[in-house]
């Protein structure tokens, strides 16, 4: 019964979303054009999803990052920035929702309905954004048959590159699959999965001390990744706020039709997962990949 009521309300908000869509009038760069810029012009990306917008608009944190005024201020700074080598990513659904599932449309319709006025104030029609959803090419799309091709396009970015991954200690980005199989080398900086922004100064200090500027940096670290991409790109690094790409890749390999647990990896969007006394997801840490351990440059705790 509750599920039926939720669907009815979702549909109502979806219809309202269709009416509101014309008011945003945002320009979002085509994904292929973005990938070409990343490869040919060393462009970096900092992405804003619902989590980052909730912090900026509603002043709320989430299960893995507590709210702070400093965090909100930094996110606003990044969002309003106009760095020539950095693209700001917003969800593609702000521009067009034709490709997405009803569930995805409903989620964003409800979010936009409750956030419409401040979103309207934040988004600028004269600015060219990129697609924040480029790192989510599978689950939210109606046509999942194109996912493999989309993943391959993204994987071409780091082909034969020296890659440094900045990730949470429960992320294990690219471990157990071939997502990073075409890189020249992989190194990792491991950070706290929960409240990583509390360690921000240490993270950026260690990164700038040990990572060469000709490396490609991939960050999977929630809202902290958005800010880190901005700061590091200004220092001359090429950085991609890569988000949930690895989890999406795992789901696509499983042919999953809903968000499910991925063994040995944190999936913060799956509601039924067991949590520890601090509210963090419990996962089986049975990673016995020697190459993973050898790739770790430093662990920040």
Contact 301, 195 (CB under 8 A): no
Q: Which residue has the tokens 């921000």?
A: 200
Name the domain count of the chain: 1
Q: Cβ–Cβ contacts within 10 Å for residue 98, how many?
A: 8
Rounded CA separation 223/194 (Å): 11
Question: How does pLDDT run along the chain (301 residues), one tens digit per residue?
Answer: 455 555 556 656 655 656 555 567 889 999 999 999 999 999 999 999 999 999 999 999 987 899 999 999 999 999 999 999 999 999 998 888 889 998 898 888 888 888 888 998 999 988 999 999 999 999 999 999 999 999 999 999 999 999 999 999 999 999 999 999 999 999 999 999 999 999 999 999 999 999 999 999 999 999 999 999 999 999 999 999 999 999 999 999 999 999 999 988 988 887 544 444 444 444 444 556 778 889 999 999 9
Token pair, residue 41, equals: 């012009």
Q: Which residue range forms the structural domain that includes residue 32?
A: 2-299
State pTM to two decimals: 0.90
Give the strands of the sheet with 296-299, arranged side by side.
27-28, 128-131, 86-90, 44-47, 238-241, 216-220, 162-168, 185-191, 296-299
The dihedrals phi and psi of 135, each to the nearest 5 degrees, come to -90, 5
Contacts of residues 239-243 at CB distance under 8 Å and 24 or more positions apart, as own/partner, are 239/44, 239/45, 239/46, 240/38, 240/44, 240/45, 240/157, 240/216, 241/45, 241/46, 241/47, 241/89, 241/135, 242/135, 242/173, 242/218, 243/47, 243/49, 243/132, 243/135, 243/136
Rounded CA separation 167/173 (Å): 7
Report how far apart, in Å, the C-alpha atoms of 246 and of each of 31, 157, 171, 228 are: 18, 15, 9, 19
Q: What is the pLDDT of residue 13?
A: 60
């Amino acid at each position: 019964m509750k599920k039926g009521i939720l669907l009815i309300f979702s549909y109502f908000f979806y219809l309202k979303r269709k009416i509101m869509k014309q008011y945003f009038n945002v320009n979002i760069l085509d994904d292929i054009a973005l990938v070409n810029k990343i490869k040919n012009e060393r462009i970096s990306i900092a992405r804003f999803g619902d989590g980052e917008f909730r912090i900026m608009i509603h002043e709320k944190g989430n299960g893995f990052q507590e709210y702070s005024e400093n965090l909100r201020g930094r996110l606003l700074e990044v969002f309003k920035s106009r760095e020539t080598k950095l693209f700001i990513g917003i969800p593609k659904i702000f521009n067009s929702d034709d490709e997405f599932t009803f569930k995805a449309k409903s989620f964003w319709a409800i979010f936009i309905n409750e956030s419409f006025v401040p979103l309207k104030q934040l988004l600028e029609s004269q600015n060219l954004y990129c697609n924040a959803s480029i790192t989510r090419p599978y689950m939210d799309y109606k046509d999942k048959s194109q996912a493999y091709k989309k993943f391959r396009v993204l994987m071409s970015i780091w082909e034969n590159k020296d890659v440094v991954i900045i990730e949470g200690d429960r992320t294990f980005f690219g471990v157990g699959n071939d997502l990073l199989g075409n890189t020249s080398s992989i190194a990792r900086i491991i950070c706290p999965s929960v409240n990583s922004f509390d360690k921000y100064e240490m993270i950026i200090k260690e990164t700038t001390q040990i990572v060469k500027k000709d490396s490609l940096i991939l960050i999977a670290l929630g809202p902290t990744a958005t800010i880190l991409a901005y700061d590091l790109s200004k220092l001359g690094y090429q950085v991609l706020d890569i988000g949930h790409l690895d989890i999406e890749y795992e789901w696509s390999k499983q042919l999953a039709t809903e968000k499910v647990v991925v063994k040995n990896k944190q999936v913060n969007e799956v509601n039924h997962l067991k949590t520890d006394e601090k509210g963090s997801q419990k996962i089986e840490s049975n990673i016995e990949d020697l190459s993973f351990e050898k790739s770790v440059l430093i662990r920040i705790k």
